[in-house]
């Protein structure tokens, strides 16, 4: 009986392995498990391509690894003096993967339609787009907004609805574009198979065929260990144990975690949603500065991220719109204590500081489902105890955070974007108190001026110094040396197992979201073995 | 007789409609009570990367801004016209999603259901007819262990053993990586179905085995069994000739009543094996407040389970002659 038991599955396995040889991992085909399945399909108008490479479509511009611009569909672009009109010139040799030409009409349609679509692609500032002739398109904005250029990098161009092969309701499942790859089959919830687009206008990608598996974390790991994958997104804790034949790739990110402080004292006011506003302790700049000074961010990376990350000092560390001068010597509890003493926060009998009858105590709220944030909150609380500040780590559901905590507690958030528009939402007083944007009601007229000036800059490059000044201009800013509206803690690292033969080229700093952003450099990927 | 059958059938249909209506209302109220903001859920990690204007546009486009009652009435009216609505999670008609997902789930559920019923029943009969024997003790040990094992844990364990450790079965999905649907033949499909179906069938085995065993014990201790033994029949003879028919009533009840449980188990198993069935769609719909999809799935499952129970009633009559007779006052 035992012999039969072993024999049966083994013989089936042997039969199967003869009948169905596993696909040979030749250099023609890559198998990747990096998540990123868009449930709504591969429709740029609904947000496909906001991160990483859109595969099927091409965009007006593309980013280099250092985030500078490179032409793709557009060869020239200019912004009018009133900052309301973009005029772009297009290449004339671009074809969709069915061989039909891509013209300015398609570009104009894509932008107009995306503005109405109500998806994740935000073009709400677009007034209208118009094709001037086959090769020129004009985009008119409702108000100056330099961060509109983000759509040049992320909005894949689709064929206009008026054409025979044009955009239609189920475009997301039958995408047609001018990108490097075309869809072969999408087995929803399972895998995506793509092949090179023969009409692609750019350099021919090194791999004829890509297979993206949409497996969960455990299954991805199992598949990687079984040797079925060329690239796998894995949790950082596993960076040290890659399967044979693969190396762990640690990608730097601005996928950050930081503490948002409520900026106003508690006056008993409430938001329209009923959420209470204000916190008497965090409203004091001395508290916020002391926390920023005292935190040992290197230690946070070691303890909470197992070493897989880097300290965060701002919302966009290392990106061109972040100010490198907004730096402090952190991990310095002595300086923090001196600062608190100067601000009249006196140590009481219970080991906590007091000022005007107020105890230095606040809730540090984190979404209960996120174990990394829980760990960060616990370690931060431990680091603040010697100062006489009690941060009480409190795990709550997002809904409860929105109802109870959003404008009253210090909250552990995570952001990180390839567009400085995020800075605008987080720190402009126009968005003060609006849900998740500027939840702490931060308001500084000088910062507002810089942020508005940045939006009205003549070019994206010109806007960079203004974004930086909003963080710290030598006197004020939203950053640690200025108002210290946040205490940024860490930037995560995204870890992938990559086949030892696969060279992924130079990688940019990745945004929030582990997985698909890796494909940003897709066209540079090379196979290094025979 | 015919009239009575029709009356019974109509009553059953009426009851089914009532149950469906109650399920729809209950499911809808639960969704309304759930703390999920559909716009936040729609945006996911991009929640603060679109403007407030865009949030409004999203709510308008997908109908998130209608009051609850309006949403429900709209949905019910569509349903009356035979339309299940539009799923915002998948940006596709709900009927298409259910059809394609259920096709994938059906083979999984069918194999798992048959497997657990037959295996559970056989084990139960064997254990019950040889009370106290080694086989009985082993089967009981196995059943109790299994009954207290979480299905997702079991799934991960068999995945690690058979797919990673031994490499006999594929690690995921309904077809091999890179292979087109059209190129997948039934043997490959079965190969991919094997492990999820096996795991899922183990879920139901324990209950059915234990209940069958209990009924079997009862029989083996009865006068009938004693009489048969006295006539020289072996325990096995008694078990299969007399016992099996008795013991299969609870097994049938359980097997058909546990369709709902099986469906619930399939959600977890499909997650682990990345098997694209209805289970995955249910999770997405629930987490992202996709009202039409979730309601449709709830109704569909209800229908599925109700039909299972109706079928069980029919089978009773066939199996047990005592139930065939009309009860007279």
Pick from A255-269, B181-195, B232-246: least confident: B232-246
Q: Which CATH architecture has domain A10-234+500-527?
A: 3-Layer(aba) Sandwich (3.40)
When CB atoms are compared, the residue of B54, B100, B191 closest to A16 is B191
Contact flag B45-A513 (C-beta cutoff 8 Å)? yes
When CB atoms are compared, the residue of B45, B178, B276 closest to A211 is B178
Six token digits for residue A17: 């392995």
DSSP A50-119: SSS--TTS--SEEE-TTS-EEESSEEEEEE-TTS-EEEEEE-S--B-TTSPBP-HHHHHHHHHHHHHH-S
Can you give the C-alpha Rg of chain A in angstroms? 26
DSSP A398-410: HHHIIIIITTTSE
Partners of residue B54 in chain A, C-beta under 8 Å: 118, 122, 124
Partners of residue B50 in chain A, C-beta under 8 Å: 120, 122, 124
Query: Collapsing DSSP states into helix, strand and coil, what is residue B221?
Result: coil
Residue B141 in this model has a pLDDT that exceeds 70: yes
Query: Collapsing DSSP states into helix, strand and coil, what is residue A422?
Result: helix
Report the pLDDT value the prediction gives residue B79, as an integer from 0 to 100: 86
**Which among A118, A227, A455 is the top mutation candidate for probing chain B, defined by the most B β-carbons within 10 Å of its own β-carbon?**
A118
| Distance from the A375 Cα atom to the nearest Cα atom in chain B, whole angstroms | 20
pLDDT in tens, B252-308: 888 887 887 888 888 888 877 777 788 878 888 888 888 889 999 999 888 888 888
Residue B96 in this model has a pLDDT that exceeds 60: yes
Confidence of residue B325 (pLDDT cuts 50, 70, 90): low
**Which among B35, B38, B48, B150 is the top mutation candidate for probing chain A, defined by the most A β-carbons within 10 Å of its own β-carbon?**
B48
Query: What is the average pLDDT across B27-48?
Result: 82
**Which among A9, A32, A47, A122 is the top mutation candidate for probing chain B, defined by the most B β-carbons within 10 Å of its own β-carbon?**
A122
One digit per residue, the tens of pLDDT, for chain A of length 530 reads: 343 444 444 444 444 444 444 444 447 899 999 988 888 899 999 989 888 899 999 999 999 888 889 999 999 999 999 999 999 999 999 999 999 999 999 999 999 999 999 888 899 999 999 999 999 999 999 999 999 999 999 999 999 998 888 999 889 999 999 999 999 999 888 889 999 999 999 999 999 999 999 887 878 888 898 888 999 999 887 888 899 999 999 999 999 999 999 999 998 888 887 888 999 999 999 999 999 999 999 999 999 998 999 999 999 999 999 999 999 999 999 999 999 999 999 999 899 999 998 999 999 999 998 888 999 999 999 999 999 999 999 999 888 888 889 999 999 999 988 899 999 999 999 999 888 889 999 999 999 999 999 999 999 999 999 999 999 999 999 999 999 999 999 999 999 999 999 999 888 888 887 778 899 889 999 998 87
Report the pLDDT value the prediction gives residue B146, as an integer from 0 to 100: 83
Pick from A328-342, B42-56, B86-100: least confident: B42-56
Residue B318 in this model has a pLDDT that exceeds 90: no
| Distance from the B131 Cα atom to the nearest Cα atom in chain A, whole angstroms | 22
- Euclidean distance between CA atoms A119 and A90, whole angstroms: 26
Nearest residue on chain B to A116, alpha-carbon basis: B57
Pairing of strands A74-79, A346-347: unpaired
Confidence of residue B67 (pLDDT cuts 50, 70, 90): confident
Facing residues of A191 across strands? A187, A213
Q: Is the dihedral of CA A4, A7, A11, A12 positive or negative?
A: positive
Phi (first) and psi of residue A489, to 5 degrees? -110, -65
* Residues in contact with A328: Cβ distance below 8 Å, sequence separation at least 6, in sequence order: A292, A293, A313, A480, A481
CATH 3.40.630.30 fits A254-491, yes or no: no
Nearest residue on chain B to A403, alpha-carbon basis: B35
Contact flag B42-A120 (C-beta cutoff 8 Å)? yes
Residue B13 in this model has a pLDDT that exceeds 90: no
When CB atoms are compared, the residue of B47, B169, B281 closest to A436 is B47
ipTM above 0.90 for this complex: no
Nearest residue on chain B to A18, alpha-carbon basis: B188
Instruction: Domains for chain B: give ranges and CATH numbers.
Output: 15-83 (no CATH), 99-323 (1.10.3720.10)
| Distance from the B272 Cα atom to the nearest Cα atom in chain A, whole angstroms | 7
pLDDT in tens, B154-173: 888 888 888 778 878 887 77
Report the pLDDT value the prediction gives residue A269, as an integer from 0 to 100: 86
Phi (first) and psi of residue A344, to 5 degrees? 75, 20
Q: Is the dihedral of CA B83, B85, B90, B92 positive or negative?
A: positive
Partners of residue B284 in chain A, C-beta under 8 Å: 39
DSSP A133-189: SSSEEEEEESS--GGGGHHHHH------TTSTT---TTGGGS---SSSEEEEEEETT
Phi (first) and psi of residue A32, to 5 degrees? -125, 140
- Euclidean distance between CA atoms A496 and A36, whole angstroms: 14
Contact flag B276-A188 (C-beta cutoff 8 Å)? yes
- Euclidean distance between CA atoms B41 and A131, whole angstroms: 35
Comparison of pLDDT for A337 and B222, the residue scoring more:
A337
> Directed axis angle between helix B94-129 and helix B244-257, to 10°?
150
Contact flag A13-B181 (C-beta cutoff 8 Å)? no
List the domain boundaries for chain A. 10-234+500-527, 254-491
Report the pLDDT value the prediction gives residue B207, as an integer from 0 to 100: 83
The mean of the pLDDT values for chain B is 83
Partners of residue B176 in chain A, C-beta under 8 Å: 20, 22-23
Cβ contacts from A onto B, under 8 A: 158
């Amino acid at each position: 009986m035992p012999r039969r038991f072993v024999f049966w599955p083994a013989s089936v396995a042997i039969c199967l392995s003869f009948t169905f040889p596993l696909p040979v991992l030749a250099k023609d085909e890559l198998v990747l498990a990096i998540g990123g399945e868009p449930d709504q399909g591969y429709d740029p108008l609904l947000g496909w391509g906001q991160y990483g490479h859109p595969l099927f479509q091409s965009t007006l511009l593309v980013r280099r690894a250092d985030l500078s611009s490179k032409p793709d569909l557009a060869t020239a672009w200019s912004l009018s003096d009133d900052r309301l009109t973009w005029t772009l010139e297009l290449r004339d040799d671009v074809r969709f993967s069915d061989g039909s030409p891509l013209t300015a009409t398609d570009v104009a349609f894509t932008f107009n339609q995306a503005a109405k679509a109500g998806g994740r692609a935000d073009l709400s500032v677009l007034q209208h787009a118009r094709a001037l002739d086959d090769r020129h398109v004009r985009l008119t904005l409702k108000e100056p907004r330099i961060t509109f250029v983000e759509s040049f990098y992320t909005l894949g161009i689709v064929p206009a609805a008026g054409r025979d092969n044009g955009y239609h309701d189920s475009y997301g499942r039958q995408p047609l574009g001018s990108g490097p790859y075309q869809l072969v089959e999408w087995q929803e919830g399972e895998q995506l198979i793509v092949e090179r687009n023969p009409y692609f206008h750019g350099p021919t990608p090194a791999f004829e065929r890509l297979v993206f598996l949409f497996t969960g974390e455990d299954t991805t790991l199992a598949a990687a260990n079984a040797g079925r994958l060329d690239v796998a997104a894995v949790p950082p804790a596993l960076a040290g144990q890659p399967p044979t034949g693969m190396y762990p790739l640690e990608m730097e990110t601005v996928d950050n975690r930081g503490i948002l402080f409520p900026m106003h004292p508690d006056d008993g006011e409430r938001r329209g949603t009923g959420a209470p506003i204000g916190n008497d302790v965090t409203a004091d700049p001395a508290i916020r500065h002391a926390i920023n000074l005292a935190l040992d961010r290197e230690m946070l990376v070691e303890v909470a991220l197992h070493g897989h990350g880097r300290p965060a000092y701002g919302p966009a560390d290392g990106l061109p719109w972040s100010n490198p001068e907004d730096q402090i010597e952190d991990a310095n509890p002595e300086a923090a204590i001196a600062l608190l003493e100067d601000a009249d926060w006196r140590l009481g009998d219970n080991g906590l500081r007091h000022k005007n009858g107020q105890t230095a105590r606040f809730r540090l709220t984190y979404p209960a489902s996120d174990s990394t944030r829980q760990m960060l909150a616990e370690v931060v609380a431990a680091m603040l105890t010697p100062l006489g500040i009690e941060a009480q780590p409190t795990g709550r559901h997002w809904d409860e955070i929105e109802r109870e905590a959003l404008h009253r507690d210090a909250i552990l958030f995570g952001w990180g974007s390839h567009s400085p528009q995020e800075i605008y939402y987080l720190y402009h007083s126009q968005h003060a108190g609006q849900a998740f944007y500027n939840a702490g009601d931060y308001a500084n007229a000088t910062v507002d001026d810089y942020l508005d000036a940045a939006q009205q800059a003549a070019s994206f490059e010109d806007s960079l110094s203004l974004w930086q000044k909003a963080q710290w201009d030598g006197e004020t800013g939203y950053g640690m040396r200025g108002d210290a509206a946040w205490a940024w803690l860490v930037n995560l690292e995204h870890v992938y197992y990559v086949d030892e033969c696969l060279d992924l080229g130079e990688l940019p700093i990745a945004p929030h979201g582990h997985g698909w952003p890796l494909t940003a450099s897709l066209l540079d990927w090379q196979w290094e073995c025979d | 007789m015919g009239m009575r059958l029709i009356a019974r059938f109509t009553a059953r249909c009426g009851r089914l409609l009532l149950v469906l209506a109650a399920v729809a209302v209950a499911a809808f109220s639960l969704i309304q009570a759930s703390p999920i903001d559909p716009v936040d859920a729609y945006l996911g990690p991009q929640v603060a990367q679109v403007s407030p204007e865009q949030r409004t546009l999203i709510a308008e486009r997908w109908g998130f801004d209608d009051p609850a009652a309006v949403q429900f009435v709209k949905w019910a009216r569509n349903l009356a016209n035979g339309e299940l609505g539009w799923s915002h999670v998948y940006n596709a008609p709900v009927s298409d999603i259910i059809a394609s997902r259920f096709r994938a789930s059906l083979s999984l559920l069918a194999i798992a259901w048959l497997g657990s019923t037959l295996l559970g029943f056989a084990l139960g009969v064997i254990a019950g007819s040889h009370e106290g024997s080694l086989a009985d003790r082993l089967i009981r040990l196995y059943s109790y262990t299994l009954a207290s094992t979480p299905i997702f844990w079991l799934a991960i364990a068999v995945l690690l053993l058979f797919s990673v450790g031994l490499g006999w079965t594929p690690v995921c999905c309904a077809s091999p990586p890179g292979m087109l649907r059209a190129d997948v033949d039934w043997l490959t499909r079965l190969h991919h179905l094997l492990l999820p179906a096996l795991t899922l069938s183990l879920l139901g085995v324990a209950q059915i085995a234990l209940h069958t065993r209990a009924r079997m014990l009862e029989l083996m201790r009865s006068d009938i069994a004693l009489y048969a033994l006295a006539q020289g029949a072996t325990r096995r003879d008694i078990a299969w000739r007399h016992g099996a028919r008795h013991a299969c009533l609870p097994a049938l009840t359980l097997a058909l009543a546990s369709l709902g449980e099986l469906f619930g188990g399939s959600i977890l198993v499909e997650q682990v094996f990345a098997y694209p069935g209805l289970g995955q769609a249910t999770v997405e719909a629930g987490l992202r407040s996709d009202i039409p999809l979730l309601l449709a799935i709830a109704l569909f499952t209800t229908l599925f389970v109700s039909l299972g129970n109706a079928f069980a009633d029919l089978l009773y009559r066939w199996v047990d002659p005592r139930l065939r007779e009309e009860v007279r006052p």
